[in-house]
A and B are shown apart, each in its own frame.
Chain A
Amino acid sequence: MLQINNLSKSFEDKLAVDKLSLNVSPGEIWAFIGHNGAGKTTTLKAISGIIDFDGEIRVNSFNVKTQPFEAKKSLHYIPDNPVLYEHLTGIEQLNFIADVFLLSQAERKSQIEFYAKRLDLYEVLSQKISSYSHGMKQKLAILCALIHKPKLLLLDEPFVGLDPKSSHELKLIFNELASSGSAIFYSTHVLEVAEKICSHVAIIKQGKLVCSGTMEKIKGLDSLEKTFLELEDETSD
């Protein structure tokens, strides 16, 4: 579903991502972890075609550089800070996304109703987004992704700002999506959650991929937190 080969990205003189390679298959849930400024967001932005980069990225076998339109049809990226059109209502924002992904009337109606009710957002969809709280905006941003069933879901810190119920619901939704063949690749600092719901993990440090693989292989019998801290120390030495 996602193949990254030698991804590099630098900003002026600073190398943000250095020759990162990774493969994500359908049905997998990946946690992408690393310290602040490690290159997580840059990687996610490169995958979603927001920034240019060196190397090759393929989404659903489409090259992000040469076939961006086809690649973007298969993915949805949710940034860490939900940026939505504040002057629109929730339903207008969702209809906008549905129009972009060419969803039929019946399809969008059923998907919006189904997921909005699960995330406790259905009652406020006719309100302007500017009246939403941070958490509600985050849920709406997630909802935007869910309605068109993306084959690859990219999320930057998706649990930040969510209430416990919505957080729990989102974990269930992740599992359901993975079971239906979608791949999920998300950056996080909440290692306990990642340990519970992710099948795979990738650890990045100063732009370089330190390790990646199945959760069991990476952490072994230890906790993910302990493994992560040990890896951080080792590579520092």
Chain B
Amino acid sequence: MKPLIDLSKIYIKQSFQQNNKKKRTSFSLIASLCVIALIVIFGLGFSFYSLANQLATIGQEKMILIVGSISASMFVLMFTLYQQQGFYYKTNDYDFLSSLPIKTSTVVLAKYISSYFLCLFYHTIFILPAFVVYFIFTPISFTAILYSIISLFFSPLYLLLISNVLTIIINLATARLKNKNIINSVFTMLFTLLIIVFVALGNNDSLTSFFSTGEISIWIKVLLPFLPPLFNAIVLNSFLQFLLFLAINLLAFGLAILLTSLTYKRINNFLFSSTSKKNKGSMQFIPRKVTHSLVKKDFMILINTPVYLVNCIIGAIMLVFFAILYAVLAKNNGATASEAEIFVGLFALSGAMMISIVPPSAVSINVEGEKLLSLKSLPIKFIDIVKSKLVFNILAYFPFILIANIIFFALIPTNFIIILLCLLVQITSLFLSAVVGLLLNLKFPLLKWSNVTQAVKQSMSMFVTMAIMMIFCGLPILLFIFFAESILISLQIEIYFLIIFCFYILALTIFVWILLSKGEKLYKKIQ
């Protein structure tokens, strides 16, 4: 029991560890987490409330629990799926822990506990608004509230089982392959996309099924078996159903530990032993510019680090996915010219958010790890480091912006000015996020980590960048949703895009000035 407690403590402590140990840093971390949580809770709460209002007119407001749970589950799965890779596989402490007399199941359980807390955080901020909205619309009962609160702690157990199983499948399938890192990333992104599709289709299907048969759809019962008993427990105040909910999640917990323990060593042994010793083509000695070499190096790190790649590229993939989704929705619903402009607005603004929220530059210093210190000893000018990190960030996303815009405007043709402004809004938000991300990573670097998930997903720079970009990109979206009619009729969408573009240019100018005036000092301080 002692090793388990010790290991769990270490992993949880590492999850919140940052290079800068000042109290102010911890405060900033907590503050940015709260800002992100509040923005998500407010956004979700608002959309759940609107939906519950509509459902209340037909007396089905309780369905908000199902919609909320499906959305929360799928978001959590999406976030945890690729994080699990970093938690369990190819971690820096694998050799050390393997040499100690500690059972594999103990190591797995300790890692599971630390990932559980992260999962619990994500799940709570996604499900909480649904519970609040539900209790606004239905009479409050003590047992229902109690069941809801307890369910917050148990629901992540089943979700962790699903992400653990998917991670095991992906790694077992790819660990012995030649280009395992890239294939692993492709598999992870495919599963993540499938999850997004399930969110979109699942909510629609569950509502249709409930209205036609009064029952929860069969695929929800199969994929998320804990959901129907939880729904019944809260709605009907059924203790028996609540016990069933607990049993399913506890069983899921046991299965997750068992399956991960059984495969943990096998997968890690494959991953550590299957490094190719083959020559990669002939040797070339072609001189290149320093910035070019630095960008190439950054891309090599990105491509070969699945957690990093998926974390950064998922926004770009979602941009393309939503471009298709919005365009198809507008086409299928036979949208009029002004209705189509709403879809154009949503595509431009939400697209800007998707490509800006997790910029690679926000963790590009972190993923260098201790190699950054060697880099610092080389005669590379700070401006070259800045240029390379920004170019890398922009190049990683630019093709996706082009593809998404070509697809969207091919399906929803509009005038050239709107297309140009839509592109400008997305590109400037991309520049802005790259600059903000790099600046914050210089301010909050995390060079010592035991798994790459820590550097990518649990770093202060990523959280603060997310919070700032949520504000910069979320504000125009909220204004557009609230005042769509006024914007489209009195202001015209072109003018609205132009205002957003000017706002981003202004913010970009300020952040570039800060980066150039303070960045070098921050870079020198990293040690």
Instruction: Mark A residues whose CB is within 8 Å of B.
Output: 45, 48-52, 69-70, 72-73, 75-77, 79, 81, 83-85, 87-89, 91-92, 95-105, 108-109, 112, 124-128, 130-131
Contacts and interface: CB of A to CB of B under 8 A. Distances in A.
A98 B376 CA distance: 16
Contact of A85 (B275, B280, B300, B376): B300
A37 B381 CA distance: 31
A100 B373 contact: no
Give chain B's interface residue range (CB within 8 Å of chain A).
Answer: 35 or more
Given A77-B377, A127-B279, A87 B285 contact: no
A85 B287 contact: no
Contact of A79 (B275, B278, B296, B373): B373
B369 A83 contact: yes
A97 to B, nearest CB: 7
Given A50-B373, A83-B373, A100 B379 contact: yes
A104 B280 contact: no
Contacts of A124: 277
Q: For chain B, what secondary structure do more than half of its interface residues adopt (helix, strand, loop), or is it mixed?
A: loop
A72 B379 contact: yes
Contacts of A85: 297, 300-301, 371
Nearest to B299: A87
Given A69-B381, A127-B278, A131-B276, A99 B289 contact: yes
B339 interface: no
Nearest to A154: B377
A95 B284 contact: yes
A130 B274 CA distance: 10
A127 B376 CA distance: 26
Contacts of A131: 275-277
Q: For chain A, what secondary structure do more than half of its interface residues adopt (helix, strand, loop), or is it mixed?
A: mixed
Nearest to B287: A105
Contacts of A99: 287-290, 292-293
B276 A109 contact: no
A121 to B, nearest CB: 12
8 contacts: A69-B379, A72-B379, A95-B285, A95-B293, A99-B289, A109-B285, A127-B277, A131-B277
Between B275, B305, B379, the greatest number of chain A beta carbons within 10 A of the residue's beta carbon is seen for: B379
Contacts of B369: 83
A104 B287 contact: yes
Contacts of A81: 370
Interface in B281-315: 281-290, 292-293, 296-297, 300-301, 303-305
A55 to B, nearest CB: 16
B378 interface: yes
Contacts of A112: 285
A3 to B, nearest CB: 18
Interface string B368-390: 01110110111111000000000
A76 B374 CA distance: 9
Given A72-B379, A87-B300, A127-B278, 4 more contacts: A52-B527, A85-B300, A100-B293, A100-B380
Contacts of B377: 45, 48-50, 72, 75-77
Contacts of A77: 374, 377
A2 B226 CA distance: 69
Given A72-B378, A79-B373, A108 B280 contact: no
A91 B283 contact: yes
A109 B283 CA distance: 10
Contacts of B277: 124, 127, 131
A75 B331 CA distance: 63
A50 B287 contact: no
Nearest to B525: A52
B521 to A, nearest CB: 10
A128 B373 contact: no
A98 B289 CA distance: 10
Nearest to A52: B524
Nearest to A91: B283
Given A50-B373, A100-B293, A103-B287, A128 B276 contact: yes
A98 B379 contact: no
Nearest to B21: A12
B294 to A, nearest CB: 8
